[in-house]
Amino acid sequence: MTLEQLVTAELAEPVDSRVSAMAAAIASKYGAAARSVLFYGSCLREANLEGLMLDFYLIVSDYRAAFGKGWLAFANRLLPPNVFPCEHDGLVAKYAVLSEADFARLASAATRNVSVWARFAQPSRLVWTADDTAQARAIASVASAAPALLAAARPMLPDGIMVDQLWEEAFRLTYGAELRAERKGRAGSVIAADPARYRRFTVPALAAAGLDASIDGSRILFTQPADRRSGEAAWRRRRREGKALTLARLAKASTTYAGGIDYLAWKINRHAGAAIKIKPWQRRWPLLGAISLLPRLIVRGAIR
């Protein structure tokens, strides 16, 4: 099967009816601007919804159609995505908003930033679409993510590597390019959740990335040697830019995401095993409150 065929089949796999209902509820907030909704992340990976926060991406036609002429449209265009909380039928979620054009760009090798292509190189589900054109565009964008990941990771990998290790090392690199609240071994746990899926995707994704390789059993042998020096320089730049971008998005979220600092604390506590408690003054001034947490969290290794 081609990569696009694999992605099409994966995106169409069934989900819990409550996920579909929440996706439809999110889309309904944006009327004709809503184009598609994708479900991804740990709740999908663990097949567990109870007591957790679901993760969605809402894809819209454009930001003015979604938000009008105000600050939210400008903020989403300047520093995509905007992120919002949502509750529906006893479940809680957050959803990120991207235009179709930005989703296509950010899910591909056209950007150095790992945020979108690293996430959509992992499993996701297309749980709501406006029409066939929106469906086709979403599939095409998601299909560009795994090749972007592997092409970026290749210079940092040995010429011979096991299939599972290929994906694990690629995701480990992306975690280092953002301020992430993740335990060590997180990349390995992502692969371990469905190793057969990554094995199915390996050959088509390498081909789509333009990487010549052969597979001997579970071992990949790259035909061409990699330029590690340029790869190291590229990932240093990704790390600098990615961490700065994380802080910029945090600053923006203090004006767009109600309760954002409480969500930040919840996520850090869940993923890094920390015990962060938010003080009243930090809720009053969420941007300053979030920034005040950073030095302590970095020293303790809760975020890297």
How far is Cα 6 from Cα 133, in angstroms, rounded to an integer? 19
Closest by CA to 155, choosing from 248, 224, 59, is 224
pLDDT in the model for residue 146: 98
How far is Cα 70 from Cα 46, in angstroms, rounded to an integer? 38
pLDDT (tens digit, 9 = 90+) per residue, 29-51? 999 999 999 999 989 998 888 87
When mean pLDDT is compared across 184-193, 216-225, 232-241, the lowest value belongs to 184-193
- Looking at the structure, tell me whether residues 29 and 103 fall in a common domain: yes
- Looking at the structure, tell me whether residues 282 and 175 fall in a common domain: no
Assess whether pLDDT exceeds 90 at residue 284: no
- Looking at the structure, tell me whether residues 195 and 172 fall in a common domain: yes
Closest by CA to 209, choosing from 217, 195, 218, 220, is 220
Residue 97 contacts by C-beta under 8 Å, 6 or more apart in sequence? 57, 58, 60, 63, 66, 76, 80, 81, 82, 83, 84
> End of a domain among 230, 253, 288?
230
- Looking at the structure, tell me whether residues 74 and 157 fall in a common domain: no
Assess whether pLDDT exceeds 90 at residue 194: yes
- Looking at the structure, tell me whether residues 59 and 86 fall in a common domain: yes
pLDDT (tens digit, 9 = 90+) per residue, 80-137? 999 998 999 999 999 999 999 999 999 999 999 999 999 999 999 999 999 999 999 9
Select the more confidently predicted residue: 48 or 203: 203
pLDDT in the model for residue 48: 83
- Looking at the structure, tell me whether residues 15 and 124 fall in a common domain: yes
How far is Cα 44 from Cα 57, in angstroms, rounded to an integer? 13
Closest by CA to 60, choosing from 105, 99, 24, 106, is 99
pLDDT in the model for residue 46: 85
Name the residue range of residue 251's domain: 239-300
Structure tokens at 52: 């957790």
Through-space distance between the first and last CA atoms of the chain, rounded to whole angstroms: 38
Closest by CA to 63, choosing from 48, 43, 78, 85, is 78
Assess whether pLDDT exceeds 70 at residue 242: yes
Which residue do the tokens 């930001």 mark?
63
- Looking at the structure, tell me whether residues 217 and 109 fall in a common domain: no
- Looking at the structure, tell me whether residues 204 and 158 fall in a common domain: yes
| Type of residue found at 267 | K
pLDDT in the model for residue 144: 98
Select the more confidently predicted residue: 82 or 183: 82
pTM for the model stands at 0.86
- Looking at the structure, tell me whether residues 36 and 112 fall in a common domain: yes
